[in-house]
Amino acid sequence: MRIAALVSGGVDSSVVVHRLKEAGYDPFIFYIRIGMQGEDGFIDCPSEEDIEITSYIAKKYGCKFEVVPLHEEYWDSVVRYTIDTVKRGQTPNPDMMCNKLIKFGVFEQRYGKDFDRIATGHYATTTRVDGRCYLSTAADHVKDQTYFLGQIDYAQVSKLMFPIGGMQKREVRAMAEEAHLPSATRKDSQGICFLGKINYNDFIRRYLGEKPGKIVEKETGRVLGEHKGFWFHTIGQRKGLGLSGGPWYVIEKDLERNVLYVSCGYDTQAQYGTEVRLRGFRYISDGLPQGMNLPQEVWFKIRHTPEFTRARLSRSGEGDDAVWTLQSERPIQGIASGQFGVLYVDSPYTSEPAADESKLCLGSGIII
């Protein structure tokens, strides 16, 4: 079996190579190099150290290695999507788009098509139910990354391998140390890769500029200050408002009037909601497992956190006009338009439904 291993230089993907070799495979290692294109040309990710470590891993295990430059493709899809979404006053998720369009999209079309499987360092697993492959949660519930994979399709998930999906993070680091991998003690990457060392607000300012407007307390209508552009803020945001007497949270945007509405403290009921509506929902594995029908009890996430929330899922309308409604069992904070709602059901191999048990990831839709 020919396996393409996507390796970033971090500890997780490095251990993927180690585990594949232990299992008797000879993976072909690929490093996907992405970056950001500005007026002054490409502003590359700080990738030199990553490539050096990945090259070392390839030599250590006798694997073929290739750097894949996908700067322009990343810009045309993921970065442009990010800018357009922010401009509409919504909250983007470039990590999800990168998985869907770059790692398992463009890479697959140009390189992955020549391999039987693609292995990655994501904390996720796959489960076969009634002959179909489902994306499923990792053994490490804190590190689980299925949320970021919620936009992939059946052809993609069917080809993926997650060699560390059944491990705890501490076990991954211990294995890396035992194998004397240079990435054993490297910190996990944070933030959006294409920005490099550029501040997120500086990036947004470069392409959208500033558009000053009022910051208003939702309950009283009192003007508290001024923002420099609604695109610098997202629903549920606390930091960066520059207001005293808080904590203040962004709870609403009026794009026509360019007003940012805020409220003080988590206890303010206006910040919470029990209904999440999704448009453009797509199943990863082409539907619910056999025996499940709508309306259906599901678990969901609206951001990457270890916690799941229980809800009743229903649908109105058909095709592209369909709206999927989640009626949550408890109020949730920071429902942001443009973000993704990712849905889960309990694995049929789970004895008792519980938030920390293994789950099948059904798919995702955009919050409206």
Of 73-77, 119-123, 254-258, 317-321, the one with minimum mean pLDDT is 317-321
Return the pLDDT at 268: 47
How far is residue 55's CA from residue 205's CA, in Å, rounded to a whole number?
A: 36
Residue 270 has pLDDT above 50, yes or no: no
pLDDT of residue 197: 56
CATH of the domain at 99: 3.40.50.620
User: Buried b / exposed e across 290-320, counting CB within 10 Å, b at 16+?
Assistant: eeeeeeeebbbbbbbeeebbebebeeeeeee
Same domain, 326 and 251: no
| CB-based contact 134:289 (threshold 8 Å) | yes
What's the mean pLDDT when you consider all of the chain? Answer: 89
- Regarding whether 305 and 174 lie in a shared domain, the answer is no
Same domain, 189 and 63: yes
pLDDT at 277: 96
> In this model, does residue 91 exceed pLDDT 70?
yes
Residue 195 has pLDDT above 80, yes or no: no
- Per the rule left: phi > 0, alpha: psi between -120 and 50, beta: everything else, 180 is left
Q: Which of 156-165, 182-191, 245-254 has the highest mean pLDDT?
A: 156-165
The region of weakest confidence among 12-26, 143-157, 215-229, 279-293 is 279-293
Residue 323 lies in a domain: yes
Assign 198 a pLDDT band (cuts: 50, 70, 90): low
Judge contact between 241 and 252, C-beta under 8 A. no
Residue 126: the pLDDT is: 96
Closest CA to 364 of 282, 308, 299, 285: 282
What Rg value do the Cα atoms of the chain yield, rounded? 22
**228 is a domain residue:** yes
Tell whether 276 and 263 lie within a shared domain. no
Is pLDDT of 151 > 90?
yes
2's CB contacts (< 8 A; 6+ apart) are: 28, 114, 115, 116, 117
Does residue 133 belong to any structural domain of this protein? no
> pLDDT band for position 267 (50/70/90)?
very low
Greater model confidence, 353 or 363: 363
Same domain, 331 and 351: yes
What pLDDT digit, counting tens, does each position of 321-338 carry?
Answer: 899 999 999 988 878 899
Global pTM value: 0.88
With respect to residue 138, please indicate whether it lies within any of the assigned structural domains. Answer: no
What's the structural domain count of the chain? Answer: 3
Residues contacting residue 151 through CB under 8 Å, at least 6 positions apart: 96, 97, 99, 100, 282, 340, 363, 364
Q: Which domain holds residue 319?
A: 272-367
Contact 239, 262 (CB under 8 A): no
288/285 Cα distance (integer angstroms): 8
pLDDT tens digits, 343-356: 999 988 766 677 77
Active-site annotation holder among 98, 133, 264, 361: 98
Residue 216: strand pairing partners: 223, 261
98 has catalytic annotation: yes
Cis peptide before 69, with omega less than 30 degrees from 0? no
- Provide, rounded to the nearest whole percent, the portion of the chain with pLDDT above 90: 67
Catalytic site includes residue 193: yes
- CB-CB contact of 329 with 293 (8 Å): no
Is the per-residue pLDDT at 159 higher than 90? yes
* Catalytic, out of 45, 63, 133, 193: 193
319 and 224 part of one domain? no
- Kindly report the number of other CB atoms within 10 A of residue 46's CB atom: 10
Query: Same domain, yes or no, for 350 and 294?
Result: yes
